[in-house]
Each structure stands twice: as C-alpha cells, then as structure tokens.
C-alpha cells in the first residue's frame, strides 16, 4: 500500500482569494469616498470590481473543490 498525502492546496488558494478579495474590495470602497479634490484617487472602481471577482471566484472554487469527498 502506498501512503498518499491529502493536501488541499487548491482549496487553500480559493480561501485566500476570497479573503484577499474582501480586502481589495473594502480598499476600493474606502477609496471611493473621495470627494473630487486634487488628491482624489481614480482607481477605486477597478479595486471594487477586482475584489468582487476574487470573492465570487473564491466562493465558487470553495463550493466546487470543498464539496468533493475523499475516496
């Protein structure tokens, strides 16, 4: 019999993508509070979209990978 390690690296990557996506999305929401002054930062929409895509991708990956049972 062979010993096989049960590593869930893809699941860890999905969880990390979810957590990082929440951080990036929150950063975009914080940056959006700018009121149009000369020091206003314009990339908040990009951060919010990137964070949202990472959150959805992480959740989808956790659902698909985490639902599998080991045999």
Q: Can you tell me the distance from the alpha carbon of 60 to that of 38, in angstroms, rounded to the nearest whole number?
A: 40
Does some domain include residue 58? yes
Domain that holds residue 59: 10-32+42-66
Answer for the pair 10, 61: CB distance below 8 angstroms, yes or no. Answer: yes
Could you tell me if residue 37 is inside a domain? no
- Check if the beta carbon of residue 66 is closer than 8 Å to that of residue 11: yes
Give yes or no for a contact between 28 and 69, defined as CB atoms under 8 angstroms apart. no
pLDDT of res. 2: 59
In a domain, 21, yes or no: yes
Cα–Cα distance for residue pair 25/43, rounded to 1 Å = 12
Residue 46, in any domain of the structure: yes
HSE at residue 36, side-chain half, CA atoms within 13 A, is 0
Q: What is the pLDDT of residues 49-70, one digit of tens each?
A: 999 999 999 999 989 887 765 5
Q: Is the pLDDT of residue 6 over 70?
A: no
3 found inside a domain? no
Q: Decide if 4 is inside a domain.
A: no
Domain total of the chain: 1
């Amino acid at each position: 019999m062979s010993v096989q390690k049960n590593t869930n690296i893809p699941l860890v990557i999905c969880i990390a993508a979810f957590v990082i996506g929440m951080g990036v999305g929150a950063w975009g929401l914080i940056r959006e509070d700018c009121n149009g002054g000369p020091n206003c930062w314009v990339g908040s929409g990009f951060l919010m979209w990137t964070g949202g895509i990472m959150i959805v991708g992480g959740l989808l990956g956790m659902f698909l990978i985490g639902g599998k049972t080991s045999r």
